[in-house]
C-alpha cells in the first residue's frame, strides 16, 4: 500500500501492550477464522467468545458482515475491494491485540496473500489461523442467508466458491471439520488451542 500521509511521526505509548496484558492478567492475540460462507465462522467465533467471557478474559469479536455496515461500508466484492477489506480489518485487529484484547475475527478472507499480510503485521505467535473446513456442498445445504441460491441464479456476482475463488490455508494453526462436527466439539478444539497459547505467556504475567 502506498502511504499518502506525510509529515507524520509514530508516537510510542508509555502504557505498553505488556502493561495492558498484565492488568488483564492474560496475553492477547488474534484468532482468525477463515472459510467459505456458511462454514460456521461466525457461529464459532461467538461460541468461543462466550467461553472466554465466562473465564473473565477480555475479548472482542469482529464479524465480516458487521464491519461492512460501517468501517468497510464503501467496499464491494471485487478482488481489489476484498483485499482492501482485509487490509483494514487486519490493521484494526492489530490495534486491538496491542490493546491487550483477545480478538476473534470471522472473515471469508479468500486470498492466502491477504491473510499472510495480517499475520505479518504481528509478532510471531499472535496470529492464529483457524480454518473452518466445510465442503461447498455442505455450505450450500445450510445456506441460512440464501446467498448461494442467489449466486447460482446470477443475482450475486463475485461470490466466493461460486464465481470467485477461495484459497485454502496451507499451514493453519487449527483445522476444524465444521462440515461434520458439532459446534460444541469445534468450540472445544479452539478452547484447547487457546489454553495452550495462554499458558505460553503465564511466566510473563508473573514478572
The one catalytic residue in 109, 135, 163, 164 is 109
Whole-angstrom distance, CA of residue 125 vs CA of residue 123: 6
Cβ atoms 129, 117 nearer than 8 A: no
Number of other residues whose CB lies within 10 A of the CB of residue 101: 21
Whole-angstrom distance, CA of residue 205 vs CA of residue 198: 10
Cβ neighbours of residue 157 closer than 8 Å, sequence gap 6 or more: 77, 163
Could you say which DSSP state residue 40 is in? S
Helix axes 17-24, 79-98, angle to 10 degrees: 70
Number of other residues whose CB lies within 10 A of the CB of residue 130: 28
Is position 5 annotated as part of the catalytic site? no
CA distances from 30 to 85, 96, 142, 168 (A): 17, 9, 27, 19
Beta bridge partners of 104: 31, 61
Which residue shows C-alpha cell 462436527?
181
Q: Which residues are catalytic?
A: 109
Amino acid at each position: 500500500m502506498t502511504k499518502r500521509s506525510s509529515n507524520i511521526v509514530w508516537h510510542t505509548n508509555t502504557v505498553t501492550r505488556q502493561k495492558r496484558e498484565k492488568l488483564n492478567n492474560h496475553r492477547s492475540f488474534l484468532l482468525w477464522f477463515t472459510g467459505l460462507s456458511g462454514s460456521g465462522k461466525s457461529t464459532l467465533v461467538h461460541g468461543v467468545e462466550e467461553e472466554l467471557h465466562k473465564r473473565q478474559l477480555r475479548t472482542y469479536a469482529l464479524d465480516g458482515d458487521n464491519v461492512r455496515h460501517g468501517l468497510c461500508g464503501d467496499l464491494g466484492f471485487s478482488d481489489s475491494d476484498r483485499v482492501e477489506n482485509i487490509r483494514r480489518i487486519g490493521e484494526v485487529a492489530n490495534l486491538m491485540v496491542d490493546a491487550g484484547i483477545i480478538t476473534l475475527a470471522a472473515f471469508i478472507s479468500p486470498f492466502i496473500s491477504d491473510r499472510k499480510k495480517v499475520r505479518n503485521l504481528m509478532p510471531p505467535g499472535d496470529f492464529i489461523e483457524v480454518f473452518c473446513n466445510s465442503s461447498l456442498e455442505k455450505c450450500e445445504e445450510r445456506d441460512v442467508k440464501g446467498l448461494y441460491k442467489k449466486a447460482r441464479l446470477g443475482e450475486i456476482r463475485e461470490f466466493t466458491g461460486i464465481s470467485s475463488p477461495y484459497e485454502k490455508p496451507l499451514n493453519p494453526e487449527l483445522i476444524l471439520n465444521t462440515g461434520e462436527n458439532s459446534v460444541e466439539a469445534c468450540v472445544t478444539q479452539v478452547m484447547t488451542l487457546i489454553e495452550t497459547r495462554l499458558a505460553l505467556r503465564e511466566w510473563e504475567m508473573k514478572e
